[in-house]
Amino acid sequence: MERTIHEEKQFEKISFAEVTYPASDHEECKFDQCDFSKSDLSGSSFADTLFIGCQFSMTKLSNTTFRNVRFKDCKLLGLHFEDCSNFLFTVSFENCSVKLCSFTKMNLQNTRFIHSALHEIDFTETNLSAAVFDHCDLAGSIFDGTKLEKADFRTAYNYSIDPERNRLKKAKFSLSGVTGLLDKHDIQIDL
């Protein structure tokens, strides 16, 4: 069966919820207010694509390709990004609600997370070198064996990062955020 190719196409207010999306290729497409809840995007490819105001809840991403993909104003719940194809995987998140998602062992070098709630995200053994967490809430997110060299946390908050279990060389933190590096010691700091 031949794969469908979509170039410069706009998809608006379409529900793909609870369906297996036909494996297809997308280049320079825009998905506006679409619902991918409990859908299966396995094997599909998205390059230079924008998802704006879309819903992703328990969406299957087995061997899905995201290359230069932007998520803006989206809600993403329970996604396993580590199931995606890691070839040229590049994403960014702006003003998104990302909860209970996993990026375990992925290469997210230089990834930008902007004004987003990143709650209970698993970044175990993830390469987040030079990643930017601009005004992001990282409540409950897991950093364990994570490469955070040159990552920027200066405006991030609610994170808990153990400097002994993560690589932090030249990472950037604000003075008020340094307390997130001392959580394991259960000490009280008055600022």
Model confidence pLDDT, tens digit, residues 35-88: 999 999 999 999 999 999 999 999 999 999 999 999 999 999 999 999 999 999
Assigned domain for 163 exists: yes
173 DSSP assignment: -
In this structure, the answer to whether residues 114 and 85 fall within a common structural domain is: no
Q: Does residue 100 surpass a pLDDT of 80?
A: yes
Q: Does residue 4 surpass a pLDDT of 80?
A: yes
pLDDT confidence tier of residue 187, bands split at 50, 70 and 90: low
In this structure, the answer to whether residues 51 and 78 fall within a common structural domain is: yes
At 177 the pLDDT is 73
Q: Does residue 191 surpass a pLDDT of 80?
A: no
pTM reported for the whole predicted model: 0.93
Q: Could you tell me the CA-to-CA distances from 126 to 1, 4, 120, 167 in Å, in that order?
A: 36, 33, 15, 11
Strands (DSSP E) along the chain, which ranges? Answer: 4-7, 10-12, 24-27, 30-32, 45-47, 50-52, 55-57, 65-67, 69-72, 75-77, 91-94, 97-99, 112-114, 117-119, 132-134
Q: Does residue 14 surpass a pLDDT of 60?
A: yes
In this structure, the answer to whether residues 5 and 84 fall within a common structural domain is: yes
In this structure, the answer to whether residues 109 and 86 fall within a common structural domain is: no
At 41 the pLDDT is 96
Distance CA 154, CA 109 (A): 17
| Chosen domain end from 37, 59, 90 | 90
Mean of pLDDT values over 150-174: 95
Q: Does residue 138 surpass a pLDDT of 90?
A: yes
Give percent of the chain above pLDDT 70. Answer: 93
How high is the mean pLDDT of the chain?
A: 93
Please count the structural domains in the chain.
2
At 175 the pLDDT is 82
Give percent of the chain above pLDDT 90. Answer: 85
Reading the block at residue 63, the tokens are 């061997």
* Residue 160 belongs to domain spanning: 102-184
